[in-house]
Structure 1
Amino acid sequence: MKWFRHFLLTATAVVAAAVSAADKPVLRIGYSDWPGWTAWEIADKKGFFAKHGVDVKLEWFEYGPQMDAFAVGRIDAAGISNGDAMVLNASGARNIIIMINDYSNGNDKIVGAPGIGSIRELKGRKVGVEIGCLSHMLLMNALAKNGMTEKDVTLVNMPTHQAAQTLASGDVAAIVAWQPNSGAALELVKGSRELYTSADEPGIIYDTLAVSAESLLKHRAEWSKVVAAWYDVIDYLNDPANRDEAMKILAARVGVTPEKYATYMKGTRFLTAGEAMKIFRKADGFGSVYGSSAITDKFFVDNKIYKENVNIPRCIDPSFTRAYLKGRK
C-alpha cells in the first residue's frame, strides 16, 4: 500500500500543479519606443519577470495603436504618459497608474526647420504634432511661455513616428515629437534645431505603467510582482557595469546602434522607487503626478479633447511602489 499512497500523493501534486499553472494569469503589457518603456525589454531579457514568478507577455506597438489596443482590452496594461492615461479614462477605458517609470527631461522636443531659431518665429506657420497627445500640450506650454496661443500657429496632425519625414517634407516649420523620433528629425534634416524641450518644464510628462481596472482587480498580487521586476530594471540600469549590455538590449529592440541609443537616455530621467514616491505625493504643479495630471486634464477639457474632467485620484494608485519600498527595508 505504500507504493499506492506514494502514487496517490504524487498524482495529487501533479494535478494541483497543473491547476495552479492554469490559474496563473499571463499579463499582457504593451510597450513602445520611448526609453522608459523600451526598458521593459531588459526585464524580459534578464529574467526579472521569471525571478519574481510572474508570467508577462510584452507586446510591441507604435504608440497610438498601443493606446487603441489598451482601450479595447487587447492588452492588460500599457506604457503611456500620465496625460494619455487621463484621455483613456475620459473615453471610458478605465485604467489606473500603478507606477511612474520616468519623466521626460529633454527627449520630448519641438524641432524647428532650417531657418527657424525660436518659438516666436513659428507665428503664422505650420507645426506638425500628434493632436491630443502630450506633445500637443508641450507645444501649448511653449507657446504660452512665449506670449502666444494655438491661434498663432496652424496645427498639422501628424503621427509621431512620421515626425522626421514630416519635417523633411518642408511642409511644416517645426515638429513636436519624442525620442527616437525627435532625434531622427534632427539628424535627417540638416540645419534643424531644438526650440523647446521637456527639460524646460520638468514634470510636464510622466511616463507610467497604467493597468486596466479589471486586470488590477483580478490580479493585484501579480501586478505587485511586475512592479518589483521593474525596480530590478532600475537597479540594473543604475549599475555602470551594465551600461554596454543595457544599450545593446535597448538598441536592438528599436533598431539603432548602441551608441545612438545612449544619446536617447540622456533626456529620460529614470526614477528609483524612492524618487517615484515623492512624485506620488498629492500636490499642485508639475512636481506631483497628481498636479501634473490635473493640469493636463484641464488642458484636454479646455481644448475639447474630451468634455468632462477626470477624477484624478481614482486614476492613480501609489500603493504598489509604497509596498515595494516597505518590503525593501
Structure 2
Amino acid sequence: MKTTMKTLLVGATISLTLAGQAWAQKKVIIGNFGDPAPYEAAAADGRFEKATGWTIEWRKFGSGAEVNAAMASGAVVISELGSVPLAAGASQGVDYQLFLIGKAIGASESLITRNGSGIEKPADLKGKKIAVPVGSTAHFSLMGALKNWGISEKDVQVIGMSPPEINAAWSQNAVDAAFIWEPVQSKLRANGKLMTTAGDVGKAGYPTFNGWVVNTKFAAENRAAMIGFIKVMNDVNASYTKNKAQWNADSAPVKAIAARLGTTPKEIVADLDGATYPDGEEQITAEWLGGGAAKFMKLTADFLKSAGRINASADSYAKFVNADMAKAAAAK
C-alpha cells in the first residue's frame, strides 16, 4: 500500500486529536468554596489526582447558588455544596447526587454582632441589619435561630451579601450583625462578639452540613475513580479527627492549607476546629448517607418552601443520595 505524505499528515493529525481528547476526558473541574477543611491538604499535594488519574482543576465558588448553576450547565461535574443550596437545587431538578459528607457545620458558621450595635440578647436584633449570603447554610441557620427566638423575619432587616461584601460593610459599620463562615467570621470577631453558632442552631432542630455532589451520569461512568476520590477524602478526614493535636500550626498539612487559602497556620487550626469531618465508616451510617442526609434535605426543603424560598419540595430526597460508592470506599 502506497503511503503518501498527505496520508501521514492526516494520520498524525488524527492521533494528536485523539490524544488531546483522551487528555481532555481526564481533566475534571471540581468546585469548592475555599474554606478551611482537611481535604485541602490532600488537594495541595496531589493525592486526589494520584487516586483518580484525573488532571484536576479546583474552581472556587462564592455561593451554593453559583454551584447549582454550574452543575446544571455542566461547567463542573463534582462540587462541594452546602445542605441548603443542595436541597434547593434538588427541588428544582438539578441532575446530581450527594455522594459524600464534607463536614457537619458547627462553630465554623456563626452569628456575630458588631460592637457598638446595641445587641446584647436575641430580642435586641429587632430592627437591626443582619447580613448573610442568601440561600446559604448560614442563611438557613439564621432563619432557624430567629424562629427559635420567636423573632419574625419582618422584625429584622436581612441583607443579602457575599462574604467579601460583609467584611467591607462591617468595617464601615453598615451592618449590625452577620451570620457567616470562616475566614470572614474571625475577621468580624475582632470588632464583635459571638451570639450563636450553626452547631447550636442544629441541635435546636435546624442542622446544616457541607456535602459533595456529582453529576449522575459522570458518577456512573467513572465509578472506580470516584471511589478513589472518596478514599482520599475519608483518609484525610480520619487523619485530622484522630490526630487533631498533631494538626498544629507547625504541621505540614496545616501549613499547606494556609498556603492554598492565603491565611496563617494559626487561623487554620482554629477554623478546622469549627466543624466535624466524618470518616469512611461514619459516612455510611444512618446519621448520614444511610438515611439521615435525605431526611435533612427534606427538612430543609420544607423549611425553604414555608419561607417562600422555593416553590415546592419533594416527598422524598432519597434519589438524590448515592451511598453505594461510599460503601465501596469504606469496605475493608
Whether TM-score is above 0.5 comes out as yes
**2:298 is aligned with 1:290:** no
Q: Which residue of 1 aligns with 2:303?
A: 299
Amino acid at match of 1:71: A
Pairing of 1:60-99 with structure 2 (within 5 A): 60-64=59-63, 65-99=66-100
**Equivalent position of 1:45 in the other structure:** 44
SS state at 1:112 partner: strand
Residue aligning to 2:324: 319
How many residues in Structure 1 have an aligned counterpart in Structure 2? 304
1:52 aligned counterpart, secondary structure: helix
Give matches, 1:1-329, under 5 Å. 25-36=26-37, 39-64=38-63, 65-114=66-115, 115-187=118-190, 190=191, 192-200=192-200, 201-202=202-203, 204-237=207-240, 238-239=242-243, 240-241=245-246, 243=248, 244-278=251-285, 279-280=287-288, 288-310=292-314, 311-326=316-331, 329=332
> Secondary structure at the residue paired with 2:182?
coil
Q: What is the alpha-carbon distance in structure 2 between the residues aligned to residue 153 and residue 55 of structure 1?
A: 47
- Check conservation: 1:165, 1:185, Cα contact below 8 A: no
CA distance in 2, matches of 1:315, 1:281: 10
Q: Aligned-pair RMSD on alpha carbons?
A: 2.6
Distance 1:45 1:158 in 2: 29
**TM-score in terms of structure 2 length:** 0.83
Deviations for 1:239-272, whole angstroms, at most 9, x for unmatched residues?
A: 4545411111111112111111111011011111
Task: Work out the CA distance in 1 between the residues paired with 2:21 and 2:51.
Answer: 16
C-alpha contact 2:235 2:279 (8 A) present in aligned 1:
no
Cα distance 1:281–1:67, how it changes in 2: closer, same or farther (>3 A)? closer
TM superposition shift of 1:298: 0.8
C-alpha contact 1:100 1:276 (8 A) present in aligned 2: yes
Query: Normalised by the size of structure 1, how large is the TM-score?
Result: 0.84
The alpha carbon displacement at 1:128 in A equals 0.9
What amino acid is the match of 2:53?
V
- Describe the SS at the equivalent of 1:29: strand
Q: Look up the SS of the partner of 1:264 in the other structure.
A: helix
Deviations 1:55-107 (A, max 9, x none): 14132323224443333221111111122112222333211100001111111
- Conservation of the 8 A alpha-carbon contact between 1:274 and 1:325: yes
Offset, 1:217:
2.8
Flag structure 1 segments of 5+ consecutive residues without an equivalent.
1-17
**Amino acid of the structure 2 residue aligned with 1:304:** G
| Partners of 1:23 and 1:29 in 2: CA distance | 14
Aligned CA distance change for structure 1 residues 98 and 282 (closer, same or farther; 3 Å): closer
TM-superposed deviation, 1:289: 1.6
Measured in 1, the distance between the counterparts of 2:304 and 2:323 equals 24
- Report the 3-state secondary structure (helix = DSSP H, G, I; strand = E; otherwise coil) of the residue aligned with 2:276: strand
Using the aligned pairs only, state the percent identity.
19
Do 1:119 and 1:196's aligned partners in 2 also have CA atoms closer than 8 Å? Answer: no
- Greater shift after overlay, 44-53 or 148-157? 44-53
Give how far 1:294 is off.
Answer: 1.3
In the TM superposition, what is the alpha-carbon distance from 1:168 to its structure 2 partner?
Answer: 2.5
For 2:276 and 2:225, how far apart are their aligned partners in 1?
Answer: 26
What letter corresponds to residue 109 of structure 2 in structure 1?
D
Q: For the structure 1 residues 281 and 49, does the alpha-carbon distance in structure 2 shift closer, same or farther, using more than 3 Å as the test?
A: closer
Counterpart contact for 1:293–1:312, Cα < 8 Å: yes
Provide the rounded CA distance (Å) in 1 between the counterparts of 2:265 and 2:309. 38
2:134 partner SS: coil
Q: Is the 8 A contact 2:101 2:212 kept in 1?
A: yes
Q: Distance in 2 between matches of 1:130 and 1:20?
A: 39
| Partner Cα separation in structure 1 for residue 21 and residue 238 of structure 2 | 31
Distance in 2, Cα, partners of 1:158 & 1:66: 17
2:262 maps to amino acid:
G
Counterparts of 2:318 and 2:187 in 1: how far apart (Å)? 37
SS in 2 for 1:148: coil
